[in-house]
Amino acid sequence: MAEALSSDKITQELTKVTGWSLANDAKSISKKFQFKDFREAFSFMTACALWAEKADHHPDWSNVYNRVDVTLSTHDAGGVTEKDIAFAAYMDEITA
Amino acid sequence: MAEALSSDKITQELTKVTGWSLANDAKSISKKFQFKDFREAFSFMTACALWAEKADHHPDWSNVYNRVDVTLSTHDAGGVTEKDIAFAAYMDEITA
């Protein structure tokens, strides 16, 4: 099972992705995405859903029209793991 | 454009759907859906997304694994309209 990363390690890992913030309790990372419209927002969500099913690692997220707010955490590990960093990197990649 | 319904009218309309609640400010309705797993939850969201694009009427929603919390409101009308009731009825229908 993936192990929760220390705050220092997460901060270091977050330099490799773009616009992700560590929560005050260091247990999750989050980012707010904005798209042209709902179609683009939901297309992004669909790509992420396929990634999530394959990795068996799912996001906490909300959507209002063209905005998608994402929070990533590994509940089993009680914090942020390499899985969350990998998911964040994937989301950045497909929205680059 | 659709007109915002009165609280009384919304309450009457909500008798035709299942498990939807009117917000205290009477400007939105909401329901919490629970599914077997993420796959079922996201399949539901995908069906709703197609409905939303066709109707040009979009939900405010959040998802965590097998749960989807939905809030419906017609922002242009500043409240709940027949469009929201129709969307609620659709969501009930596909989860019945």
What pLDDT is stored for residue A2 in this prediction? 82
Q: Which residue among B49, B52, B63 sits closest to A61, beta carbon to beta carbon?
A: B63
Least CA distance to A72: which residue of chain B?
Answer: B64
ipTM of the complex: 0.95
pTM: 0.96
Mean pLDDT of the residues in chain B: 97
How confident is residue A5, by pLDDT bands cut at 50, 70 and 90?
very high
Q: How confident is the model at residue B2 (pLDDT cuts 50, 70, 90)?
A: confident
**Helix residue spans in A1-96 (DSSP H):** 7-14, 38-55, 82-95
Q: pLDDT at position B82, please?
A: 96
Taking the C-alpha atoms of residue A50 and residue B39, their distance in angstroms, rounded to an integer, is 9
pLDDT, position A46: 98
Q: What is the pLDDT of residues B17-75, one digit of tens each?
A: 999 999 999 999 999 999 999 999 999 999 999 999 999 999 999 999 999 999 999 99
Which chain A residues are Cβ-neighbours of B42 within 8 angstroms?
A: 49
Q: What share of chain A has pLDDT > 90, as a percent?
A: 98
Q: What is the 3-state secondary structure (H, E, C) of A78-95?
A: CECCHHHHHHHHHHHHHH
How confident is the prediction for chain A on average, in pLDDT?
97
Q: Residue A30 above 80 pLDDT?
A: yes
Residue-wise pLDDT tens digits, A42-88: 999 999 999 999 999 999 999 999 999 999 999 999 999 999 999 99
Residue B94 pLDDT > 90: yes
Chain B contacts to A (CB-CB under 8 A): 38-39, 42, 45-46, 49, 52-53, 58-65
Phi-psi region of B63 (alpha: psi -120 to 50; beta: other; left: phi over 0): beta
Give kind and range of the element (H or E) at residue A70: strand A67-72
Q: Residue B1 pLDDT more than 80?
A: no
| Cβ <8 Å between B58 and A52 | no
CB-nearest partner of A58 from B38, B53, B58: B38
User: B58 vs A38: CB contact, 8 Å cut-off?
Assistant: yes
Q: In this predicted structure, what is the pLDDT of residue B29?
A: 98
Nearest CA in chain B to A48: B42
Asked if A62's CB is within 8 angstroms of B63's CB, the reply is yes
